[in-house]
Amino acid sequence: MVMKTNLKGLLPPLCSKWYRNYLYQKGIKNGTLAAITGDYTSFEEAAQDSGTYDDELYAEKVLQTYRDVHGKQSWPMETHDWRLLSKVSLGMGQEGGLRVLDIGGSSGDYFFKLKSFLGKEAIKSWIIVEAKKVVDKMRGIDPFLKYVSSMDDIDRENLDINFVFISGTLQYLEKPFQILESLIPLRADFICINKSILWDRPTKIMKQITPDAMRSSRPIWIFNEAAIKDKLSTLSYRLLWAYDNSELVTYIPGCGSLVYRGLFFRRNEKVDSK
């Protein structure tokens, strides 16, 4: 086994990349990995050829996941969790605690992980924006988690948010850049875009087919990384960290395998001082 590992490390980069791409193509054909395919002119066109997250099956899955994990005494930290959670803890070492808007937060997975990592007292509020069917299923199920189905449902006049969390969600929104713009009135100190497929090519809309029994599919944006950074810059946020979610890899025909990325932003100090 050691010899194989050493030999793999000696492979030229092009051979190593070919081998990784081969493994992921094989995994997709075997139905063990999500497939990303197609090239659409609009989100609507992609949705007509696939589906969305706003369905009863997904809502029921979110509820079941919550029931499975609620009440666990501890949440073991995976290697990829530390890349994100350590940054959150560093950024949140300030008075007032963590007040989160979690867009696409599903069953509140990261709430439980952060509570285990930082302690319950560090988190003052956690609001999850989800699809309407999910909100209908989850509203009131947890005394701490608050579910809303749109940004319009948030009482912005009386809301104090210092951290916006968008994990594995931005790429599935119909109008992702418009959602980013809608966050500005919140004046959150930090915005984290976690688990997104980012590349150096133009942003495009494709279709993702998940490897579950029903082979469900939905539209997915593949973002140009510079475009995301530029957009947050125009909204007065500067990039603090960019990092890989190396446990997640996807394969795109004609491009090969790509790791998911995360971007961690802070509101500019000049804006903070106003």
Contact yes or no for 261/196 (Cβ under 8 A): yes
CA dihedral in degrees (155, 106, 200, 10; nearest 10)? 150
For the chain, list the domains and their CATH numbers: 33-272 (3.40.50.150)
Q: What is the pLDDT of residue 2?
A: 38
Q: Rounded mean pLDDT of 5-20? A: 59
**pLDDT band at 160; cut points 50, 70, 90:** confident
Please report the pLDDT score of residue 4 as a whole number.
39
pLDDT digits (tens, 9 = 90+) for 242-261: 988 767 788 888 888 888 89
Instruction: State how far the alpha carbon of 175 is from the alpha carbons of 48, 102, 221, in Å.
Output: 16, 17, 10
- Residue 62's nearest CA partner among 102, 30, 104 is 104
Mean pLDDT, residues 47-53: 82
Report the C-alpha gap between 9 and 168 in whole angstroms: 31
Bigger pLDDT: 57 vs 105: 105
**What is the percentage of the chain residues whose pLDDT exceeds 90?**
39
pLDDT band (50, 70, 90) for residue 233:
very high
Residue 119 and residue 143: Cα distance in Å, rounded?
Answer: 17
Comparing CA positions, the residue from 109, 97, 99 lying closest to residue 69 is 109
- The mean pLDDT value for 179-207 works out to 93
Q: Which of 254, 261, 273, 248 is nearest to 33 (CA)?
A: 248
* Closest to 66 in 3D by CA, of 151, 145, 183: 145
